[in-house]
Structure 1
Amino acid sequence: MKYLIKLGFITLAGALFSANASASCKATLEANDMMQFNQKTLSFSKDCKEISIELKHVGKLPAQTMGHNVVVVDTTNIQAVATDGMSAGIDNQYVKQGDERVYGYSKVIGGGETTTLTFATDKLKAGGDYSFFCSFPGHWAIMKGKLEFK
């Protein structure tokens, strides 16, 4: 009987650990018409093989006027990637095509829309200095935050 109780506890603990491990590989981020993200930090486990960030534009303005996306880079590359992205244009989601400084990016969305960015973490190092930002022209200076991978 004690063996069955212990086995049940181990199974339950394993299920809870699995649920927590998978939950830490996903995050939800909201953006609004005031050029703000609702979070300044997104944290993920170094055990994640891929990361998913769901972006919800909770504003009302269209993508052409107040579009938002989420781009993940090394913190030191934010300004350079954003500047190159302006030239790439909205058809390229304001991200220079083939830019190796970019770990992942989502499409640009307008008010009431949702999109999900999913990318592999094989190039990220635990404890690295990573950030997320919106590459819509002029937004990157305000709309950014830390991405923790530990």
Structure 2
Amino acid sequence: MKSSAILLASLLAAGSSWAYADCEFTVEVNDTMTYPIAQIVASSSCEAIKVTVTHKGTLDANVMGHNWVLAKTDDVQAIATEGMMAGADNNYLKPGDTRVLAHTDIVGAGATSSTSFSPSILEAGQSYDFFCSFPGHWASMRGKFVLE
């Protein structure tokens, strides 16, 4: 333990960046169209990666609902645009859309939803984003997903 703390202190003093990759993530959302994070870094050694969305706001899902969707960066806009037509019952995602790699349900005030997926579904060298598919949210509720 002591040597780990010394190593970390040495890295930080030397100006190196240090990141901790994990397998489980909680994303707290509220009544704004923002995620509290811009990037998720997950470990490629995870058997499964789990993401949980918790809505801490006061508005219902039909007014200010949010979800978490994972896709290749280049597919995000098309998934979001086509998802609007799919409606709330389908979490604003076209049923059977193979471009959607993982997603939670749309949640409103006080609700939680989770998704789990294997890191093996992600291709090395590919760029991935997470976003909210609620109509109009994808442009501002978006971040990078990195597998290390």
TM-score (norm 2): 0.82
Residues 46 and 126 of structure 1 are in contact (CA less than 8 Å); yes or no, is this contact kept in structure 2?
Answer: no
Is 1:108 equivalent to 2:89 in the alignment?
A: no
* 1: CA distance, partners of 2:126 / 2:45: 14
Question: For residue 10 of structure 1, what is the aligned residue in structure 2?
Answer: none
Query: Structure 1 stretch 94-103 or stretch 126-135: which is displaced more?
Result: 126-135
Larger Rg: 1 or 2?
A: 1
5+ residue gaps in structure 2?
1-20
Q: Corresponding residue for 1:84?
A: 82
Amino acid in structure 2 at the alignment position of 1:44: A
Q: Counterparts of 1:59 and 1:126 in 2: how far apart (Å)?
A: 36
Matches within 5 A, 1:122-141: 122-141=120-139
What percent of counterpart residues are identical? 45
Could you tell me whether the CA contact under 8 Å between 1:57 and 1:113 is conserved in 2?
Answer: yes
How far off is 1:127 after superposition?
4.3
Secondary structure at 1:79 match in 2: helix
Whole-Å separation in 2 of the counterparts to 1:43 and 1:50: 13
Alignment-derived partner of residue 3 in structure 1 = none
Instruction: Give the C-alpha shift of residue 76 in structure 1.
Output: 0.8
CA contact (8 A) 2:128 2:144 kept: yes
In structure 2, do the counterparts of structure 1 residues 96 and 102 end up closer, same or farther at CA, with 3 Å as the change threshold? same
Q: Deviations over 1:47-90 (max 9, x none)?
A: 12321001111111000000000000001111000011101111
Q: CA deviation at 1:120?
A: 2.3
Structure 1 runs (4+) greater than 3 angstroms displaced = none
Gap regions ≥5 residues in structure 1 = 1-22
Please give the alpha-carbon distance, in whole angstroms, between the structure 1 residues aligned to 2:109 and 2:32.
11
Counterpart contact for 2:52–2:104, Cα < 8 Å: no
**1:107-134 deviation digits (Å, cap 9, x = unpaired):** 0000111111112222202443111000
1:63 to 2:61 alignment: yes
| Matched residues, number | 128
> How large is the RMSD of aligned CA atoms in angstroms?
1.2
**For the residues of structure 2 that align with 1:32 and 1:89, how far apart are their CA atoms?**
21
Structure 2 residue identity aligned to 1:37: Y
Q: 1:12-51 alignment to 2 at 5 Å?
A: 24-51=22-49
Query: What is the TM-score normalised by the length of structure 1?
Result: 0.81
